[in-house]
A and B are shown apart, each in its own frame.
Chain A
Amino acid sequence: MLCRKLLGRCALRKGEVTLQNVRTAAHFTYLPQTPNPALGDTTKLNMFQSINNAMDIAMEKDSSAVLFGEDVAFGGVFRCSLGLQDKYGSARVFNTPLTEQGIIGFGIGVAAAGTTAIAEIQFADYIFPGFDQLVNEAAKYRYRSGNEYNCGGLTVRAPWGAVGHGALYHSQSPEAFFAHCPGLKVVIPRGPTQAKGLLLSCIRDQNPCIFFEPKILYRIAAEEVPVTDYTIPLSQAEVLREGSDVTMIGWGTVVHVLLEVAQMAHDELGVSCEVIDLQTIMPYDSETIEKSVKKTGKAMVVHEAPLTQGFGAELAARLQEECFLHLEAPIQRVTGWDTPFPYIYEPFYLPDKWRCFDTVKKLVDYM
């Protein structure tokens, strides 16, 4: 009985929930966004193409800029650097040996010399050998030298987040580790349009930035993207759907889950949800989320990363400090469980639309 009920609620019809299509079906629907007409002509790009476009523009306008990492020369394992070595030459686009600590340390040195450095880490799961360089060196380079030196020209890019079958080492969302480090910026786009604008901002920002790219969106997220050189400001959240009853905060892939849940809440519960894409994790736009929570009184933060000490903890702490008297329910966090990211169990691990939907109900039913 329960099983049929579960199957009935699935997007796939009963009998279609096979092993194969559980692995390949995404847990969300990507709705292409409408481009801003003020930005002029557009072209249809998926996310790896829009990232490629951002780097192409950056390297064209900044003749010093270099891009390096494992396998970037032939185009990269996710094709983000396709064609760039042909266009800019092997002095500017090049492979490095297999060493994240070396790649990031090297990148800091390039940036310290005043050259724009785009360092690719093949998966965010592998960024940890470079943790010391990022936290102890990049983040502190300007501060410790009394601003005599800086490595602001460094941007570290890495594929991030659940992809359906990535398991422990191809699915991680490590933003919380880096948000805890003053001196770094951490940025996560929700689609091709944001990826291009935010990446260009990161590359040009004069602080070391970590740009996490939701890998599940590389191919399946495609929309009309402005061809011009445009940036999206860092440290600004975006309200994607206005609402009055519940504030939903997320970043990256999960934003699309939240948009779907917001529609479900409207259709089935008559509840009006406000969906906010945080975009920059650090330094984050507290003003926008506080304003929203003061309006709705009910908040939920959703992220794939594990619950304890995830970035939702910071947001919950901040929101209860600033919005305490406006709250009608405790701030909820819907997240990955406190486990390593498991393989065959991914459908049960992710903060999917059912868990989010149930949390909306919990929030509105609280009092």
Chain B
Amino acid sequence: MIQVARKVKNFGAFYQRALGFHHDSVRDEPAPYPGVKTEFTKEMRFILPEEVPTIPIYRVLNSQGKVINPDHDPGFEKEDLVEMYKVMVKTSIMDRILYQSQRQGRISFYMTNFGEEATQIGSARALKFKDVVFPQYREAGVFLWRGYTPLECMHQCFGTSKDFGKGKQMPVHYTGAKVNIQAVSSPLGTQIPQAAGYAYALKQRDRDACAVCYFGEGAASEGDCHSAMNMAATLDCPIMFFCRNNGYAISTATKDQYRGDGIASRGIGYGIPAIRFDGNDLFAVYNATKAARKLCVEEQRPVVLEAMTYRVGHHSTSDDSTAYRSVDEVKHWDTVDTPINRIRNYLTGRAWWDETQEKEFRSNARGEILRGFKEAENTKLPNPLLIFDEVWDELPAQLQAQKDEMIKHCMKYGENYPLQNHEDMK
């Protein structure tokens, strides 16, 4: 049975002692100030963060994929777990192909999800479809789990006329109305207070839904994150703040990102329940997300989740991480301890999967993605006049005039523009 940590009797006194306050020095009388509910103490004591215990990492599987916490095995059916495994593998195959395609100059930019497949698919699996997702940019596995196809991803990466976003944004900035995932945007952390607001609106009409907001430990430094957590706590928003702590924000390691105990420890500062778990452990991710969702929705309050993981890939195709971290460190997380290997070991250990199926699945997935790649690469780009669409809900007069100007210009100088790659201007 999964138990969420509840209040220990006399937790207040327990925690004050954990902070170092002598039992007798506290509780001489309650203090009347409006700012806090606590007691006076005769002790003058600084709370030193280095003396406060860190939050441990919940896990079910060890790094080889062996269940070491059997009471917490979620008990997935074979088909269910195989499906999750397949989506994890497919995400990484798509990543490999699209990353390579950028190196070949066929798409302009890409960001991979290597190492974070369990974080993405494990959490997505624990949600309901009606839980709105606010992504950052490294959650392609969440998109794929919910039913966004690799072809749809590739239409976006190529900016074709079949991109749901109509070619407005750079690659991996997917918009996912079909899967109840909000659009990716480049500014970091901006989605966090938006998710809190969405959650607030959601709770007025559905007490069984929540908002899930993904962000990295770097984005968690943004003011927007602080504001969002504080607002979610004070306004009782059913939002899960899901932090992917993968060790790096481009080249900035966590030691230069924060000095405290990660992101989970901030929850208590806002009055928000928090949990930290092994992001490379699909079962732990699933369990924690499921339990957090229950807490979030039943009590209509926010929860902070911190998935500890590792960013195996470079930040993006514009980054070469060998400039700031050792190849050996990366190799460890890419070969010795990977979320995909752990589940494969579990599956093969239960005779639910084997080498033949592995080869066949990988080959089929690769084939599907390569066919989709070819299709997307050969799809026309959108009508150039879509530049002017949907800035406002209607086209204002001045913008119509600019549109007319562009049409006139292209009629005169069209041969200097890549019109042949686009649908007709109309």
Contact surface of A with B, Cβ cutoff 8 Å: 64, 66, 91, 94, 96-97, 99, 101-115, 117, 129, 132-133, 136-137, 140-150, 152, 182-183, 185, 206-207, 235, 283-284, 286-287
Q: From A63, which residue of chain B is reached at the shortest CB distance? A: B204
Contact present for B175 and A145 (CB under 8 Å): yes
In Å, the complex CA distance between A111 and B399 comes to 25
Q: With A106-B193, A110-B201 in contact, do A283 and B163 touch (Cβ < 8 Å)? A: no
- Within 8 Å of chain A (Cβ to Cβ): is B196? yes
Q: With A97-B234, A235-B396 in contact, do A64 and B204 touch (Cβ < 8 Å)? A: yes
In Å, the complex CA distance between A144 and B390 comes to 9
In Å, the complex CA distance between A105 and B199 comes to 12
Chain A's nearest CB lies how many Å from the CB of B269? 13
Contact present for B190 and A110 (CB under 8 Å): no
Chain B's nearest CB lies how many Å from the CB of A187? 13
Contact present for A143 and B224 (CB under 8 Å): no
Contact present for A99 and B231 (CB under 8 Å): yes
Pick the interface stretch among B89-97, B180-188, B279-287, B304-312.
B180-188
- Partner among A66, A129, A132 whose Cβ is within 8 Å of the Cβ of B187: A132
Q: From A133, which residue of chain B is reached at the shortest CB distance? A: B190
In Å, the complex CA distance between A133 and B204 comes to 24
Q: From A154, which residue of chain B is reached at the shortest CB distance? A: B197
Sample (14) of A-B pairs whose CB atoms are under 8 Å apart: A91-B204, A101-B224, A102-B196, A102-B227, A102-B228, A107-B197, A113-B132, A113-B202, A146-B175, A147-B389, A148-B175, A148-B176, A148-B183, A183-B392
Contact present for B197 and A113 (CB under 8 Å): yes
In Å, the complex CA distance between A113 and B176 comes to 14
Contact present for A112 and B397 (CB under 8 Å): no
Contact present for A106 and B200 (CB under 8 Å): yes
Contact present for A137 and B168 (CB under 8 Å): no
With a cutoff of 8 Å between Cβ atoms, the chain A residues found around residue B134 in the complex are 109
Chain A's nearest CB lies how many Å from the CB of B188? 10
Q: With A113-B202, A183-B391 in contact, do A144 and B197 touch (Cβ < 8 Å)? A: no
Most A-side CB within 10 Å, residue of B163, B176, B197, B204: B197
In Å, the complex CA distance between A40 and B345 comes to 77
14 additional contacts (CB under 8 A) given A137-B185, A145-B168 = A66-B200, A99-B230, A101-B227, A102-B196, A105-B192, A110-B201, A113-B201, A115-B201, A136-B190, A145-B177, A146-B175, A148-B183, A183-B391, A283-B392
Contact present for A109 and B193 (CB under 8 Å): yes
Q: With A109-B196, A115-B201 in contact, do A147 and B398 touch (Cβ < 8 Å)? A: no
Q: From A151, which residue of chain B is reached at the shortest CB distance? A: B194
- Partner among A94, A114, A136, A284 whose Cβ is within 8 Å of the Cβ of B201: A114
- Partner among A104, A146, A283 whose Cβ is within 8 Å of the Cβ of B398: A283
Q: From A140, which residue of chain B is reached at the shortest CB distance? A: B185
- Within 8 Å of chain A (Cβ to Cβ): is B333? no
Interface string of B392-419 (1 = CB under 8 A from A): 1100111100000000000000000000
- Within 8 Å of chain A (Cβ to Cβ): is B125? no
Contact present for A96 and B391 (CB under 8 Å): no
In Å, the complex CA distance between A114 and B169 comes to 23
With a cutoff of 8 Å between Cβ atoms, the chain B residues found around residue A141 in the complex are 183
Chain B interfacial residues counted at CB < 8 A? 48
With a cutoff of 8 Å between Cβ atoms, the chain A residues found around residue B399 in the complex are 182, 283
Contact present for B197 and A207 (CB under 8 Å): no
- Partner among B177, B194, B198, B398 whose Cβ is within 8 Å of the Cβ of A137: B194
Contact present for B392 and A207 (CB under 8 Å): yes
Q: From B229, which residue of chain A is reached at the shortest CB distance? A: A102
- Within 8 Å of chain A (Cβ to Cβ): is B164? yes
With a cutoff of 8 Å between Cβ atoms, the chain A residues found around residue B173 in the complex are 144
Contact present for B393 and A142 (CB under 8 Å): yes
- Partner among A99, A101, A108, A206 whose Cβ is within 8 Å of the Cβ of B197: A108
Contact present for B185 and A108 (CB under 8 Å): no
- Within 8 Å of chain A (Cβ to Cβ): is B223? yes
Contact present for A105 and B193 (CB under 8 Å): yes
Contact present for A115 and B204 (CB under 8 Å): yes
Contact present for A97 and B393 (CB under 8 Å): no
- Partner among A94, A144, A287 whose Cβ is within 8 Å of the Cβ of B183: A144
Chain A's nearest CB lies how many Å from the CB of B237? 9
With a cutoff of 8 Å between Cβ atoms, the chain B residues found around residue A145 in the complex are 164-165, 168, 175, 177, 182-183
In Å, the complex CA distance between A152 and B393 comes to 8
In Å, the complex CA distance between A182 and B402 comes to 13
In Å, the complex CA distance between A149 and B1 comes to 39
Contact present for A144 and B227 (CB under 8 Å): no
Chain B's nearest CB lies how many Å from the CB of A339? 29
- Within 8 Å of chain A (Cβ to Cβ): is B235? yes
Contact present for B198 and A110 (CB under 8 Å): yes
In Å, the complex CA distance between A208 and B396 comes to 15
Most B-side CB within 10 Å, residue of A101, A111, A145, A284: A145
Contact present for A99 and B165 (CB under 8 Å): no
Chain B's nearest CB lies how many Å from the CB of A192? 27
